[in-house]
Amino acid sequence: MNPRIEEFRKLYEQALIGAGKEAIEAQHARGKLTARERVELLVDPGSFLEIDMFVRHRATEFGMDKRWVWGDAVVTGLAKIDGRRAVVIAQDFTFMGGSLGEMHAAKIVKAMQFALSQGVPIVFLNDSGGARIQEGVDSLRGYGDIFYMNVMASGVVPQIAAIMGPCAGGAVYSPALMDFIVMVKKTSFMFITGPRVVKAAIGETVDEQQLGGPEVHATKSGQADFLAEDDKDAVGIIRKLLSYLPSNNMEDPPVIRVGDPPDRSAPELDDVVPEDPNAPYDMYKIINAVLDVGSFFEVKSLWARNAITGFGRLDGRTVCVVANQPNYMAGVLDIDSSDKIAEHVRFCDSFNIPILTFVDVPGYMPGTRQEHGGIIRHGAKVLYAYSEATVPKLTVIVRKAYGGAYIAMGSKHLGADFVAAWPTAEIAVMGPEGAAEIIWRRELEAVKDPQERAKLLAKFTEEYRNKFANPYVAASRGYIDAVIQPSDTRRVLAKALDALSTKREVRIWVPPKKHGLIPV
């Protein structure tokens, strides 16, 4: 063999091993896989086309002339996932903690440019100590370049980040600018400043997991969309998520039929809504009965649980699912659930995924905590997101649809294409009790005996409920398109989705503008 080819083979082997066997063992001892092992699990066998394997850093300061590794601690390339192309970026913690220097960043940017020019999703597996301290401002520039590319790619190709180790400092902003974040339990964390800086700056004592562990981000901050048990599970979640999405904003999502007939009746739905209008029930029952069997895939399942967001399929077509959850805080719209819904609707609109909304909402959440926290601004996001969405919008009003929340949750007035209501729907300015107390305030105040007053209030409440808390007033105005039997919901929605499959947006005149200004 030509000695230069022999030399190449040696270098290639070296590059595959990266920082060496010991470093790989240490990575395994942390409960983590290496970058290459992760890529192998993620992509279809034999499909990975690696680029920039022989990139090296060029810093010389602080001993950097003595330590280097082929690939500069990140593996990048193009691959297939379930037969569809994607760009994969995997940071290699085994060399200098996967820290990001000039060339490491340049590799990532090149891969992202490739994803943009080819119109394929970006999957970024993070495992890094952040900006490589030895490379100073060149590291910062690298982050800047990556953030810029994240923004350029936003709404063009899906961007999915997995956090599989540290993600600290400014490094958190690349995942934050992407569309979905998967965090691996026990081994990952994300924060702007670590426990030591927190202690020094504000005197607070907290550990890594309490500050920015996966559970914290999945339940409290809403930053993590998915929680994974381990690296393998994270990769499985990414593969599943991609199966619902188109490769870019010019394509439709893939159609995957599982043999569930679109005209299947769901008789169990006729008994889901309790007779007592204030009794809770589980919205998941409705979602699962309507969608293709086993197709519901929830996003942010542990955060703002009064709203449900996710993907599903209806007769094989991907749909964006948005719902209120009467089982949790009565399904009220508060700051977090508004953010959750608005974000999901905007993602789905960007990527041509029809929006299917199930409504049972008593209104926006009252009180000083919400008002002072900015419920006005956050609640407005829901209105904005639904109004600007041009994909097919289908809405089912299951029970309560009160006040501003009725308008916000995919109403006809914000451009819904098809709105159905169950006979149990109550569409009104507010709940019957509150309405009766206002309308008949004088009559009620005139009755001094509390028991008598309560009886009178019940009578007025019933009167109001009979008049407005039903779907027929809204139906008489054409604000809803159909009143349907619950068991027919799947059949009706499948027909409506099919009817809307060639939707072209016809809008009242919109003046030219650079971009709108969603309240943030």
- Transcribe 94-150 into DSSP letters: TTGGG-B-HHHHHHHHHHHHHHHHHT--EEEEE---SB-GGGHHHHHHHHHHHHHHH
Among the listed residues 119, 136, 169, 280, the single contact to ligand HXC using CB under 6 A = 169
Residues 341 and 405: their CA atoms lie apart, in Å, by 12
Whether the CA torsion 424, 427, 431, 436 is positive or negative: it is negative
Q: Does 438 bind ligand HXC (CB under 6 A)?
A: no
Retrieve residue 306's tokens. Answer: 């009064």
The answer for 468, left when phi > 0, alpha when psi is -120 to 50, beta otherwise, is alpha
In angstroms, what is the minimal distance from the CB of 118 to ligand HXC? 27
Q: Which of 169, 373, 415, 434 is catalytic?
A: 169
Would residue 83 show up in a list of annotated catalytic residues for this protein?
Answer: no
Residue 195 in the binding site for ligand HXC (CB under 6 A): no
Using the rule CB under 6 A, is 59 a contact of ligand HXC?
Answer: no
Q: Which of residues 106-145 bind ligand HXC (CB under 6 A)?
A: 129-134, 140, 143
Stretch that binds ligand HXC, among 81-89, 165-173, 246-254, 336-344 (CB under 6 A): 165-173
Q: In whole angstroms, how large is the CA radius of gyration of the chain?
A: 27
End-to-end CA distance of the chain: 63
Q: Can you read off the two tokens belonging to residue 74? A: 């990140």
Taking the complex as a whole, the smallest distance from the CB of residue 403 to ligand HXC amounts, in Å, to 42
Is 169 a catalytic site residue?
A: yes
Give the nearest distance from C-beta 103 to ligand HXC in angstroms: 14
Asked if 191 is part of the footprint of ligand HXC (rule: CB under 6 A), the reply reads no
Residue among 119, 136, 155, 170 flagged as catalytic: 170
Residue closer to ligand HXC (CB basis): 22 or 445 = 22
Min dist. Cβ of residue 50 to ligand HXC (A): 23
Query: 60 to 99, contacts with ligand HXC by CB under 6 A?
Result: 96-97, 99
Please say if 165 is a catalytic residue. Answer: no
Q: What CA–CA distance (Å, rounded) separates 36 from 56?
A: 17
Q: Which stretch binds ligand HXC (CB under 6 A): 167-175, 307-315, 319-327, 407-415?
A: 167-175
166 near ligand HXC (CB under 6 A): yes
164: its two tokens: 């599989």
The 170-189 site mask, x for binding ligand HXC (CB under 6 A), equals xx------------------
Determine if 430 is a binding residue for ligand HXC (CB under 6 A).
no
**Cβ contacts of 471-479, under 8 Å, gap ≥ 24:** 471/397, 471/421, 471/422, 471/423, 471/425, 471/426, 471/427, 473/427, 474/421, 474/425, 474/427, 475/421, 478/412, 479/411, 479/412, 479/413, 479/419, 479/427
Helix (H) or strand (E) holding 238: helix 231-244
- Which lies closer to ligand HXC via its Cβ, residue 216 or residue 319? 216
Residue indicated by tokens 């809204």: 474
Rounded to a whole number of angstroms, the minimum distance from the CB of residue 216 to ligand HXC is: 16
Q: Annotated catalytic residue: which of 168, 380, 405, 435? A: 405
Q: Tell the smallest beta-carbon distance from residue 159 to ligand HXC (Å).
A: 18
Would you count residue 212 as binding ligand HXC (CB under 6 A)? no
Active site residue 415: no
Q: Are 57 and 101 in contact (CB under 8 A)?
A: yes
**CB nearer to ligand HXC: pick between 5 and 137:** 137
Amino acid occupying residue 32: K
The footprint of ligand HXC (CB under 6 A) covers: 96-97, 99, 129-134, 140, 143, 166, 168-171, 194
Cite the active site residues. 169-170, 404-405
